[in-house]
Amino acid sequence: MNWYPGHIEKAKRRIRELLKMVNTVLEVRDARAPFATSAYGMDFSKKGTIVVLNKVDIADKKITKEWVEYFKKQGKRVITTYKDEPRQVFLRKLHLGRLARVLVVGVPNTGKSTIINKLKGKRASSVGAQPGVTRGIQWFSLENGVKMLDTPGILYKNIFSKDLAAKLLLVGSLPVERIDDHEVFEKAFEIFKRYQGVEDDFTTFFENFAKRRGLLKKGGVPDLDRAIRVFFTEISQGKVGRLSFERPDEVNPEE
Ligand code: GTP
């Protein structure tokens, strides 16, 4: 199982092209799983990189604090945000210098476009394509001379384990429809159980969920496939409540 196989290399090449044009990278990660949604396989260390832990409105507050400490200890610049945070507050946190040329990157669904649109605001004018570089690339200007690329770089990492696939499912980076291995759902459910403190086993939980939601097949039999689909979609959108899916002390920084 993987993300759009074949597109991964193409996406990496595109990001390398975009990187040539910028000196600052906003690496958007989902605050609920900042390690699983990291830019594994791409090196942004030569650029001024700011790790943006997004969606903190639906992440566990205490675990988000642990992550902020974790990144600070590694000497990284890290900020937290969420879609309804006022633009000016977000801009102050970013604290971009006048000469910043910015690219937003991240794995699917971390909120890159939402961030770009917020920064773009209504007043930011597009400054047009730069001649001589990749076609179709548009910049926009922020108040203080900062320029940003208005399309994000999408990262597709190598999904080397079921655990990683499960976390990407939980944050909505990997759509439910793309998962063809039932064990990924089981792993994701184990992670949910650990963080939510649920006791049920997989089948009992999803049977009850299906009954509660009226997701039934002919004869009133719980439709487990639909229940799984609905549940994981909702959890990724934060509808199940504030919940994180990994803590810094469980991840191996060497990975
Ligand atoms: P791709 O185009 O797939 O790479 O997605 P993206 O990274 O550009 O994410 P996008 O901005 O499209 O947001 C994905 C989904 O997450 C949308 O449904 C957003 O409304 C939602 N979203 C974005 N930011 C936040 C946030 O801070 N909190 C919550 N709860 N939802 C958010």
C-alpha pair distances (Å), 134 with each of 21, 103, 144? 10, 14, 25
Atom of ligand 1 nearest to the CA of 56: 27
Ligand 1 probe mutation, 114, 150, 170, 173, most atoms within 8 A of CB: 114
Q: What is the reported pLDDT for 132?
A: 42
Averages of pLDDT over each 10 residues, the chain, 255 residues: 68 90 96 92 83 98 98 95 97 95 96 96 57 67 93 89 96 94 97 92 97 96 97 96 95 62
Query: Per-residue pLDDT tens for 77-100?
Result: 999 999 999 999 999 999 999 999
Locate 54 and state its tokens: 């997004």
Residue 88 has, within 13 A of its CA and on its CB side, a CA count of 0
Which option is the CATH number for 6-149: 3.40.50.2000, 3.40.50.150, 3.40.50.300, 3.50.40.10?
3.40.50.300
CATH topology of domain 162-249: Conserved Hypothetical Protein Ylqf; Chain: A; domain 2 (1.10.1580)
Domain limits, CATH 3.40.50.300, in the chain: 6-149
Length of the chain measured in residues: 255
CA 111 to ligand 1 center in whole angstroms: 3
Amino acid at 6: G
Locate 47 and state its tokens: 């650029």
